[in-house]
C-alpha cells in the first residue's frame, strides 16, 4: 500500500480499516449477513423511542443496519447488544461522517466523476497493463499517457457591424489513444479497439474494486451503515436495542356522564410510524413520564489542540569578518521534501525571523518550501493527489465544537375525559389493549397484542377503558370568566392506571357537551375539569374595604414591636336561574402575605388558589362571604419615633396599661431633655448678644477721649458685661452637664424597658 493510499484511508475509511474484524480474518470463519427484525418499540413523551431487534444467528454473524445521518448520534450514545447463548459481541463498525465523494477521493483511482476509460488509465500512469483487442491480440506495457483528439468549435459573432469568428478547441473522449511503453518501444493503442484492459498490479486492482464497492454501497443513500458483529458457535439468540428520535405518543380521552356518580372513561393513544420501515407484529409500550433525553455529537471527529514545541537549533560558528562592524543578518532557510524542512535561524542582530521552514506539500507529494533569509518560504513543487486530510477540509477542534453548541440551545389546566360515544354505547364495548406497569416514577402501557403499522402511517390504540368516579360542579374563577362559572366535574381516578395528560371529549348521555384537558393523573387522585360555560348561574363579586387594626404592642429594649392585621372581605352574590341546585366552587388566587380568615376556611388549597364551596339553590340568590387577613409585623426604634407615633400606639386597644405608662414616661423624659436643650439654647443666644454689644463698645472706646464721661460709661458697661458673661458661661456648663445626664437617663430607661 502506497503512502498516499495510507494517508487517504486514515480517518476517512473507518469501516474499511475494520474489514478484517468483520470478515473473519482473525482466523475464524467469515461472518454471515443476518437480518434482525424489529420486535419491540417503547415510545416516550420525551421525543425519543426505544427500538429492539431480536433474532437467531448461527455461528459468526454480521447484522447491518442503515440509518439517516441525524440519527447516528443517538445510535452511538444508546446502542446495546446482547448475545444470550454464550456468543461474543465483536466490534461495531459504522460509516464515517464525511460524504461518499470524500471517501472515494481517498482511493488511488478516483471514480467520483463518472470517468471514461481514458480518465481512469490517466490516473495510473506508469503502471503495467495488459490490453486485449477485439481480434484477440494482446499487448503489455507501462502506461505513458492518453492522447485525446481535439474538437474544434467555431463561433460567429458581429461587433460594431463587422462579422468575426472565434475558434476554440477542447479535448474529446471519442478516439482516445493509449500510449504504452512495451518491450519493443512506444506503442499507441486505440481504446476503441480494446476489448479487455487488465491492471497487472494486484494491489492496484484491489484498490479499484474497493472504490467501486464503496460507490455501490452508497447508491441512493443519505443513510449511514452500522454493522454489528456476533461471534460464536451454533444457533444463538441475539438482541440489538437503541434509542432514537421518535414522535411523542399522545393520549386522548372520552368521558360519558350520566345520572350515576360513576362515568365511563375511554383512553386512546395516538402512535405514529415516521420511520422508513414497516412495523410488523411489533410489541409496543407507551411510557407516561418525562425521562431526561438529550443529544450529543459523538459522530463528529474531534481533535484536541496540542502546543507546538520548536526544536532548539544552533547556528554553526562562522568565520569572523574583520572589515565591518555589522553583524551577519541570517542564514539560508532549509528546504523541504515530502513533509518540508525547517528554516534557518536568524543571525545575531537580525531584525526579524521571517525565514520559514519548508511547508507540507502533501502526503505522497514531492517538494516542499525553501526558506530564504528574511523571507517567507516559497511553495515547492507537488506531484500526486492531495491528501485525505486536505480533502476533508479544516478539522473541527473540541473548542470549536463547544463554541458552536453554545450558539445553538407546561402549564397544565387539564381535564381527563373520554366519551362512550354519541350513540350512548357502554364503555365496555371497547376493550383496552394495554396492560399497566409501574416503572418507578414513570408508568408504562404495554399493548398486549403485537401491532402492524406500515411506514408513515398512524394508529389509535385503546389504553384505558374503566369507570371513574365523577361529581358535577360549577367552577367560578374571576380571572377565567368574570360573569359565569364553568360547568365541570370532579373526577377521581378509581382505576389502577396512571392517566397521561391529554384532551377529554365530554358526553352527557348521547350529547356532546364540551372539551376539557386532563393533566397527568395518578391512580386514586382527584382533579377538577371544566368543559362548558354555566349560563344558568351568574356570580357578582364585591370587594369590601380593607380595615387595619393593631393586634399587639410591646417595648423590648429600646424597640417598639407591633403586629398589625389588615382584614378584607369579598362578598360573592350567586344567582342560580336554573331548575337544579348547583354545587359551586369559587377559586380565589393566593395573594402573597394573605391567608383566609378564621371564619372562612377553604375547602381545598391548590398551588395557586383557595377553593370555597357553596350550594346555590335553584331559582334563588345565595351569598358567600370570604374573609382574608394580612399580618404586618413592625419593629421600630423608639429613639427615632415621633411623639405622635408613640401616642398613637399607646392609645390603641392592644396597648396594655403598662405600655401606656411606659409611653408616658418616655414622653416625660423627652420633655425634660427638651427643656434643658431650650435653656441651653437661651444661654447661647444671650452670650451671643453680649458678644455683639461688646464689639460695639470696643469701637466706641477707641473714638472718644479717655477723660470724657462717655468713655467712663462705656468702660463701666463693658466691665459689667464681662461679669455677666462669666455667670452665663458657668450656667451653660451646668446645663450641658444636666443635658448629658438627662440623655443618659433616657437611654438607660429605654435599654432596660421590657413591657408587654
pLDDT tens per residue across span 102-139: 778 888 888 888 888 888 898 899 999 999 988 888 99
Radius of gyration of the chain, Cα coordinates, nearest whole angstrom: 50
Please return the burial class of 705, using the count of CB atoms within 10 Å of its CB with bins 0-12, 13-18 and 19+.
exposed
Locate the DSSP E strands across 17-83: 32-33, 38-44, 48-58, 61-68, 80-83
State how beta strands 162-171 and 150-159 pair: antiparallel
Cα separation, 514 vs 506, whole angstroms: 5
Q: How far apart are CA 100 and CA 92, in angstroms?
A: 20
Going by C-alpha positions, the residue among 644, 243, 289 that lies closest to residue 442 is 289
Angle at 65 between CA 63 and CA 71, to 5 degrees: 145
The strand pairing partners of 163, in sequence order, are 158
Q: What Cα–Cα distance (Å) separates residue 164 from each residue in 159, 167, 169, 497, 729?
A: 7, 10, 17, 89, 125
- Count how many Cα atoms sit within 13 Å of the Cα of residue 68 in the half-sphere of its side chain: 8
Structure letter (DSSP) for residue 45:
T
pLDDT less than 50: residues of the chain: 1-27, 322, 324-393, 408-429
Check residue 464 and give its pLDDT: 92
- Helix ranges (H only) for 323-482 are 388-392, 398-407
Where are the chain's structural domains? 3-102+218-245, 128-147+173-200, 250-277+413-534, 336-345+354-387, 540-639, 657-755
Query: 709-752 and 657-703 are packed helices; what angle lies between their axes, rounded to 10 degrees?
Result: 160
Pairing of strands 279-288, 369-370: unpaired
pLDDT score at 399: 56
Cell numbers 394495554 correspond to what residue? 434
pTM: 0.62
CA distance 108 to 94: 22
Query: What is the model's pLDDT at position 354?
Result: 37
For residue 351, what are the CA distances in angstroms to 318, 355, 358? Answer: 19, 12, 21
Query: pLDDT at position 161, please?
Result: 65
Note the pLDDT of residue 535.
Answer: 95
Length reported for the chain: 756
- Give the per-residue pLDDT at 175: 77
Measured CA to CA, the distance from residue 718 to residue 725 in angstroms comes to 10
Lookup result for grid cell 336554573: 578
Sort 414 into a burial class: Cβ within 10 Å, 0-12 / 13-18 / 19+.
Answer: buried
Eight-state DSSP code of residue 532: E
Query: What is the rounded distance in angstroms from the CA atom of residue 241 to the CA atom of residue 285?
Result: 14
Q: The domain 128-147+173-200 is classified under which CATH number: 2.30.30.100, 2.60.40.1260, 2.40.50.200, 3.40.309.10? A: 2.30.30.100
Give residues with Cβ within 8 angstroms of 515, minimum separation 6.
Answer: 415, 417, 503, 504, 505, 506, 531
Neighbours of 644 (CB within 10 A): 7
- In angstroms, what CA-CA distances link 548 with 539, 566, 567, 643? 28, 4, 6, 21
* pLDDT number for residue 26: 47
Q: Residue 576 contacts by C-beta under 8 Å, 6 or more apart in sequence?
A: 536, 537, 582, 616, 617, 618, 619, 620, 621, 622
Do residues 52 and 38 make contact, with C-beta atoms less than 8 angstroms apart?
A: yes
Contact in structure between 418 and 267 (CB atoms under 8 Å): yes
What does the alpha-carbon distance between residue 435 and residue 496 come to, in Å, rounded to a whole number?
10
- Express each pLDDT in 487-528 by its tens digit: 999 999 988 889 999 999 999 988 999 999 999 999 999 999
Residues forming a β-bridge with 436: 445
Amino acid at each position: 500500500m502506497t503512502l498516499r493510499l495510507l494517508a487517504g484511508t486514515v480517518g476517512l475509511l473507518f469501516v474499511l480499516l475494520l474489514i478484517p474484524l468483520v470478515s473473519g480474518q482473525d482466523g475464524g470463519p467469515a461472518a454471515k449477513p443476518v437480518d434482525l427484525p424489529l420486535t419491540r418499540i417503547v415510545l416516550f413523551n420525551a421525543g425519543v423511542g426505544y427500538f429492539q431487534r431480536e433474532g437467531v444467528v448461527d455461528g459468526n454473524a454480521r447484522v447491518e443496519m442503515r440509518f439517516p445521518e441525524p440519527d447516528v448520534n443517538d445510535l452511538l450514545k444508546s446502542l446495546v447488544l446482547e448475545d444470550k447463548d454464550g456468543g461474543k459481541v465483536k466490534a461495531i463498525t459504522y460509516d464515517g461522517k464525511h460524504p461518499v465523494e470524500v471517501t472515494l477521493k481517498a482511493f488511488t483511482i478516483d471514480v467520483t466523476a463518472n470517468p471514461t476509460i481514458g480518465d481512469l488509465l490517466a490516473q495510473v500512469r506508469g503502471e503495467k497493463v495488459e490490453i486485449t483487442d477485439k481480434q484477440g491480440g494482446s499487448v503489455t506495457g507501462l502506461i505513458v499517457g492518453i492522447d485525446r483528439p481535439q474538437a474544434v468549435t467555431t463561433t460567429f459573432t458581429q461587433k460594431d457591424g463587422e462579422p468575426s469568428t472565434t475558434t476554440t478547441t477542447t479535448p474529446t473522449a471519442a478516439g482516445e489513444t493509449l500510449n504504452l511503453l512495451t518491450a519493443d518501444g512506444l506503442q499507441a493503442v486505440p481504446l476503441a479497439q480494446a476489448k479487455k484492459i487488465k491492471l497487472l498490479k494486484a494491489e492496484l486492482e484491489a484498490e479499484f474494486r474497493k472504490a467501486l464497492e464503496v460507490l455501490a454501497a452508497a447508491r441512493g443513500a443519505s443513510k449511514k451503515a452500522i454493522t454489528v458483529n456476533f461471534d460464536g458457535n451454533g444457533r444463538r439468540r441475539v438482541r440489538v436495542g437503541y434509542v432514537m428520535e421518535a414522535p411523542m405518543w399522545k393520549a386522548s380521552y372520552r368521558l360519558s356522564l350520566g345520572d350515576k356518580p360513576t362515568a365511563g372513561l375511554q383512553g386512546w393513544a395516538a402512535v405514529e410510524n415516521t420511520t422508513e420501515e414497516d412495523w410488523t407484529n411489533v410489541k409496543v409500550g407507551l411510557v407516561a413520564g418525562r425521562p431526561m433525553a438529550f443529544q450529543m455529537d459523538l459522530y463528529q471527529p474531534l481533535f484536541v489542540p496540542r502546543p507546538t514545541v520548536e526544536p532548539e537549533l544552533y547556528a554553526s560558528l562562522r568565520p569572523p569578518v574583520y572589515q565591518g562592524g555589522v553583524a551577519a543578518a541570517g542564514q539560508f532557510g532549509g528546504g523541504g521534501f515530502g513533509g518540508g524542512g525547517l528554516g534557518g535561524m536568524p543571525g545575531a542582530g537580525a531584525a526579524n525571523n521571517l525565514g520559514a521552514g519548508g511547508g507540507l506539500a502533501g502526503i505522497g507529494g514531492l517538494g516542499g518550501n525553501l526558506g530564504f533569509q528574511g523571507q517567507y518560504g516559497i511553495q515547492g513543487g507537488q506531484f500526486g493527489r492531495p491528501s485525505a486530510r486536505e480533502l476533508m477540509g479544516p478539522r473541527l477542534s473540541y473548542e470549536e465544537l463547544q463554541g458552536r453548541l453554545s450558539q445553538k440551545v407546561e402549564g397544565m389546566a387539564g381535564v381527563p375525559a373520554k366519551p362512550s360515544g354519541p350513540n350512548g354505547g357502554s364503555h365496555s364495548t371497547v376493550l383496552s389493549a394495554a396492560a399497566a406497569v409501574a416503572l418507578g416514577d414513570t408508568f408504562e402501557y404495554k399493548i398486549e397484542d403485537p401491532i402492524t403499522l406500515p411506514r408513515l402511517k398512524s394508529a389509535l390504540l385503546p389504553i384505558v377503558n374503566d369507570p371513574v368516579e365523577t361529581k358535577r360542579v360549577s367552577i367560578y374563577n374571576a380571572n377565567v370568566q368574570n360573569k359565569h362559572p364553568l360547568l365541570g366535574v370532579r373526577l377521581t381516578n378509581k382505576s389502577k392506571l396512571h392517566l397521561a395528560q391529554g384532551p377529554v371529549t365530554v358526553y352527557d348521555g348521547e350529547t356532546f357537551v364540551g372539551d376539557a384537558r386532563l393533566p397527568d393523573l395518578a391512580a386514586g387522585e382527584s382533579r377538577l375539569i371544566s368543559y362548558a360555560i354555566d349560563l344558568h348561574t351568574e356570580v357578582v363579586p364585591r370587594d369590601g374595604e380593607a380595615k387595619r387594626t393593631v393586634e399587639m404592642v410591646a417595648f423590648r429594649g429600646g424597640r417598639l414591636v407591633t403586629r398589625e392585621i389588615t382584614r378584607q372581605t369579598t362578598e360573592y352574590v350567586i344567582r342560580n336561574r336554573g331548575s337544579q341546585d348547583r354545587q359551586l366552587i369559587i377559586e380565589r388566587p393566593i395573594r402573597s402575605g394573605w391567608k383566609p380568615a378564621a371564619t372562612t376556611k377553604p375547602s381545598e388549597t391548590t398551588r395557586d388558589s383557595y377553593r370555597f364551596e357553596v350550594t346555590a339553590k335553584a331559582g334563588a340568590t345565595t351569598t358567600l362571604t370570604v374573609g382574608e387577613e394580612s399580618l404586618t409585623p413592625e419593629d421600630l426604634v423608639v429613639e427615632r419615633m415621633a411623639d405622635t407615633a408613640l401616642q398613637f400606639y399607646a392609645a390603641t386597644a392592644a396597648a396594655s396599661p403598662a405600655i401606656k405608662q411606659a409611653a408616658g414616661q418616655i414622653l416625660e423624659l423627652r420633655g425634660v431633655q427638651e427643656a434643658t436643650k431650650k435653656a441651653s439654647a437661651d444661654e447661647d443666644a444671650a452670650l451671643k448678644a453680649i458678644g455683639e454689644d461688646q464689639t460695639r463698645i470696643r469701637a466706641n472706646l477707641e473714638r472718644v477721649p479717655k477723660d470724657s464721661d462717655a468713655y467712663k460709661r462705656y468702660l463701666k458697661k463693658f466691665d459689667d458685661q464681662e461679669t455677666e458673661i462669666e455667670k452665663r458661661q458657668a450656667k451653660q456648663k451646668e446645663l450641658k452637664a444636666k443635658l448629658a445626664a438627662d440623655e443618659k437617663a433616657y437611654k438607660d430607661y429605654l435599654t432596660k424597658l421590657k413591657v408587654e
